[in-house]
A and B are shown apart, each in its own frame.
Chain A
Amino acid sequence: MRGTTVEPMIVTTEKLTKRYGDRAVVDEVSLSVRRGEVYGFLGPNGAGKTTTIRMLLGLVRPTSGSARVLGEKPGTPRALLKVGSLIEGPGFFPYLSGRDNLRVHAARRGVDRTHVEAALEQVDLVGAAAEKFRRYSLGMKQRLGVAAALLGRPELLILDEPTNGLDPAGMADMRDLVRALAAQGQTVLLSSHLLGEVEEICDRVGVISNGKLVAESTVDQLRGETVLLVKADPLEKAHVLIEGSSVHGDVLHVRETDAGALVRTLVHADVDVQEVRPLRRTLEEVFFEMTGAA
């Protein structure tokens, strides 16, 4: 096996499963996160995002299946020291200042305390660093959580719904921060139930619903690849000619990717083709379609 530093896959899971009682909360999830990408882990409430992430950090043991994080077993020091995480909200001592909380965390991680100031700066908390965590606003707490995750320059950053509870400006700040990190080559695994967020900052997405990974691809592929919109005359004839097409008003939707072949078929049958283009559905439509939550 080659050294972990050249491993292109940062996270891989193989049929990862967690059952509570006889309910599979995470059901045979096989996903992969590549080095240098921002991976969006998308799913509605209760889909199993946090549970999957907990398994990647060794907090929860899988019922079956396996996972590798940076080539290591999840939860081992070798894996954890290379991962920074923020899971379901920040966990800090309320009576300590933001700075002291980071110092405590730096000691745990074996990171020099000089890194604390840099982390505070990265999330723009230097001004409030001496204040008690208890008095922080929700947005400040969340940012301190990200600062803690950044301590020790982890190879992988796992952020579980980092914009939870933030106002629009706070959300925009958080997105800017993630984008800035990504621009420096930081690999990020980010879970969210906000489609806009994922659409805006993620390179690839995995969609999870009822514990099952229902799709994994780039945002563009997920949105556009599978359906072509066809405007033809006469429409009825085209509909009969093309298998698996459906009529939507004065256009056809076709589950087909080879536009050339499709046009040839229609033209040979004397059908006038006025327009053929990939149907740009929003991620939202795709999401609802896949998760059956419409």
Chain B
Amino acid sequence: MGSVKAELLRLWKWPATWVLIGVWLVMTLTFGYLFNYLALNGGTNTRSMSQQQLISAMQPENVGAAVVRGLPMFGGAIVLVLAALAVGSGYGWGTWKTTLTAGPRRVSAMAGTLGALGIVVVLLVALTFVVNLSAAVTVASLEGWDWSLPGLGVFKALGASLLIAAMWTGFGVFLGVVTKGPALAVGLGLMWAIVTENLLRGVGSLLGPVESLTEVLPGGSAGNLAGAVGGSSAPGVLTNLSGTTAALFLAGYVVFFVGAATLLKVRRDLV
């Protein structure tokens, strides 16, 4: 399909795409392996994790959990920024105007953007997996542990990672279309992902109904799904909902964000 090809070409050659993916990979390596490795070797043991926990977290076998636990908050924030920038800046650059007058109907143009972003997100999760696995194997070899590759269960963690990333991507697209620009979309998105839900969780410890609500908000659902498939000890990871419930909420958010953004894009005048 021409629209996907066009969008993929421009995302592929966009420095921002690679900067964001790069930042994310460095972050996941630093927090998932580098710090744990340093703590294990001559760390002052002031960390809350015991030696056994550190070793387990870095085992190649548990790489699925390592991938998924970063996504509810920081990984999600990264893909949200990518999506909000990709969609929002098209208004200022005038590229939406060029896209919508090129030929394909608006739904197809939007599908092109969503499809290309989807491919980038799949790539991001795949790269995260490969990079984390390499790091885990390296650490295990350096330390001389007995290690084994992850079992089939890793696909569950990767599937959950994709769903979480898809939800945050949809959120970014939605904000980009609603605010018709990159700045406000990124600002609101980051505030929601990193600040607002945490504040609500704080209030939730005082007010019961708010607490239940925070579990099913976008970040809450993402955290609960990550927790359900083995992610642990990372900001944003929760274990208060079943995996199925959390996954259903996430799927609902994807449908809502993508649907609402597409509807707006198709209906609204472009001036």
Contact = CB atoms under 8 A, between A and B. Distances in A.
Interface of A: 54, 57-61, 76-77, 80-81, 83, 85, 87-96, 100, 103-105, 107-110, 148, 152
Given A80-B101, A92-B95, 18 more contacts: A54-B270, A61-B269, A87-B101, A88-B94, A90-B98, A91-B93, A91-B97, A92-B93, A94-B93, A95-B15, A96-B13, A100-B10, A100-B13, A104-B6, A108-B2, A108-B6, A108-B103, A109-B102
A60 B269 contact: yes
Contacts of A60: 269-271
Contact of A93 (B14, B270, B271): B14
A160 to B, nearest CB: 11
23 contacts: A54-B269, A54-B271, A58-B101, A59-B100, A80-B103, A83-B101, A87-B97, A88-B94, A89-B94, A92-B93, A93-B93, A93-B95, A95-B14, A95-B15, A96-B10, A100-B10, A103-B9, A104-B10, A105-B102, A107-B6, A107-B9, A108-B99, A108-B104
A285 to B, nearest CB: 33
Given A59-B100, A95-B14, A90 B9 contact: no
Contacts of B99: 108
B271 A59 contact: yes
Interface residues of B, number: 27
Interface in B30-54: none
A95 B105 CA distance: 26
A188 to B, nearest CB: 16
A90 B269 contact: no
3 nearest A-B residue pairs (beta carbon): A91-B94, A107-B6, A108-B102
Nearest to B3: A108
Q: Does more than half of chain B's interface fall in helix, strand or loop, or is it mixed?
A: helix
Interface in B77-120: 93-105, 109, 112
B5 interface: yes
B98 A105 contact: yes
A215 B101 CA distance: 28
Contact of A107 (B2, B96, B270): B2
B10 A90 contact: no
Interface in B1-25: 2-3, 5-6, 9-10, 13-15
A148 B98 contact: yes
Contacts of B93: 91-94
Given A60-B271, A109-B2, A95 B103 contact: no
A81 B104 CA distance: 8
A94 B96 CA distance: 13
Interface in B231-271: 269-271
Choose among A81, A91, A96, A105 the residue with the greatest number of B CB atoms under 10 Å from its CB: A91
A105 B9 contact: no
Contacts of A93: 10, 14, 93, 95
Contact of A59 (B10, B109, B270): B270
A109 B112 CA distance: 12
